[in-house]
Amino acid sequence: MIELGRYQILKVLRRTGFGFYLGEDTGSRHQILLPKRDAPEGLNIDDELEVFVYKDSEDREIATAAKVPVTIGGLAVLRVKEVSSIGAFLDWGLMKDLFLPYKEQTARIAAGDEVLVTLYVDKSSRLCATMKVYDILSSNSPYKKDDAVEGIVYEIIDAFGAFVAVDNKYSALIPVKELYKPLKVGEKISARIINVREDGKLTLSLRAKSYLQMDNDSEIILKLLKEAGGFLPYNDSTNAEIIKTDLHMSKNAFKRAIGKLYKNGAITITDDGIRLLK
C-alpha cells in the first residue's frame, strides 16, 4: 500500500512528457506521478526507485526522489516561512510548504523561527506538522548524570518547566526550579544532566556544578557592578525571586558568588547592597 509521508520503493510503470508514473507493480491501478524535475537521470520503465510521497498544492499525490528532513514518526527542526491566522508554513525543501496548524503549535511562533516538529496525516488525508512531540521522543539516550548535552526547547509549561529534545530526539525537562533565565520555544540550549529518571527521561540544568558555576556567577556580578557604577542593591537579605529575575541565578548561587568576591577583596557587603572595591 502506498503511504503518504513515508519513503517506499515503487516501480516505474510508464513515462509521459512531464514525468513518470510509479506504482507497486505492473498491474497497479494506484499510480503516482514523479515529476521530471524530481526524477534521477537515466530512469527507465520497470526500474525500482525509493521515493517520498506527498501531496502538491492541488491535493494530488506526488512522488519525489529528493531527501526530505522529516517523515511520519520522525523529528526535524524546520524554519517557519510564513504565519497566517490558521497556522504556519514550514520550509522542508519541497515545492509545497509544510502546514503547521495553529492547534498543533505549543507556542506563538513567527517567520524565521526554527521549531521541532513531527509529521502526521490529518483527517483530510493531508500531511501536516505538529510541535506536540512529547510522546514520540526517545527515553533511551546514551547519556548519564553530569554529561553536557545540547537540545531544543519544544514546549514550556509553567507548572513543570521547559521541555527539551536533547539531540532533537531524547526526552528531557528543565524543571521550574532550574529556570533561572527566560527561555522560549525553539531556543537551542546547552545544559547539564542532573538526573536520569527510571523511565530514561532526562532532567537538565542550565548551570554547571556549583563549584564551577561560582566562578562564572562572580564574573557576571563583577560585570554588572561595573556597568552600574560600582553598586548593586542586592545582598544576603534580598528576596530570592528578585535575584532570580534580575540576575538569573538562585539566591544560594548569588551568596556563593558574593562570598567569593568578598573574600578576594573585590567587594564590600552593606545593608543596602554590594559595592565594588577595585
- Per-residue pLDDT tens for 92-107? 999 899 999 999 999 9
**What is the dihedral sign for C-alpha 181, 145, 139, 52?**
positive
Q: What is the mean pLDDT of the chain?
A: 92
Q: In what order do the strands lie in the sheet with 273-276?
A: 231-232, 273-276, 267-270
pLDDT in tens, 115-173: 999 999 999 899 999 999 999 999 999 999 999 999 999 999 999 999 999 999 999 99
The secondary structure element, H or E, covering residue 219 is: helix 210-227
Q: Which cell numbers in the block locate residue 225?
A: 557592578
pLDDT tier, 174 (very low <50, low <70, confident <90, very high otherwise): very high
pLDDT tier, 1 (very low <50, low <70, confident <90, very high otherwise): confident
Q: Write phi, then psi, for 255 (nearest 5 degrees).
A: -65, -40
Residue 81: pLDDT over 70? yes
Residues of the chain with CATH 1.10.10.10: 210-276
Look at residue 180 in the predicted model and tell me its pLDDT. Answer: 83
Fold of 7-64: OB fold (Dihydrolipoamide Acetyltransferase, E2P) (2.40.50)
Look at residue 210 in the predicted model and tell me its pLDDT. Answer: 65
Torsion of CA 255, 258, 261, 262, to 10 degrees: -90
In 10 A of CB 230, how many CB atoms?
Answer: 12
Question: Per-residue pLDDT averaged across 177-205, rounded?
Answer: 93
Look at residue 2 in the predicted model and tell me its pLDDT. Answer: 87
3-state secondary structure of 238: coil
Residues of the chain with CATH 2.40.50.140: 7-64, 76-134, 138-205
- 163 bridge partner residues: 155, 173
Question: Per-residue pLDDT averaged across 247-258, rounded?
Answer: 86
CA distance 91 to 115: 11
CA distance 137 to 164: 10
Of residues 70 and 267, more confidently modeled: 70
Q: Which pTM does this prediction carry?
A: 0.78
Residue 212: pLDDT over 70? no
Look at residue 139 in the predicted model and tell me its pLDDT. Answer: 95
CA distance 35 to 63: 7
Q: Detail the DSSP E strand segments found in the chain.
A: 7-16, 19-23, 32-35, 48-55, 61-64, 76-83, 87-91, 98-101, 114-121, 127-130, 148-157, 161-166, 170-175, 188-196, 202-205, 231-232, 267-270, 273-276
Fold of 210-276: Arc Repressor Mutant, subunit A (1.10.10)
CA distance 165 to 191: 11
Fold of 76-134: OB fold (Dihydrolipoamide Acetyltransferase, E2P) (2.40.50)
Q: Write phi, then psi, for 266 (nearest 5 degrees).
A: -85, -25
**What is the dihedral sign for C-alpha 107, 153, 129, 1?**
negative
Rounded to 10 deg, the angle between the 251-263 and 210-227 helix axes is 70
Choosing among 3.40.50.1000, 3.20.20.70, 1.10.3720.10, 2.40.50.140, the CATH entry for 138-205 is 2.40.50.140
Question: Per-residue pLDDT averaged across 16-39, rounded?
Answer: 87
Residue 221: pLDDT over 80? yes
Instruction: Judge whether 156 and 163 are in contact, CB under 8 Å.
Output: yes
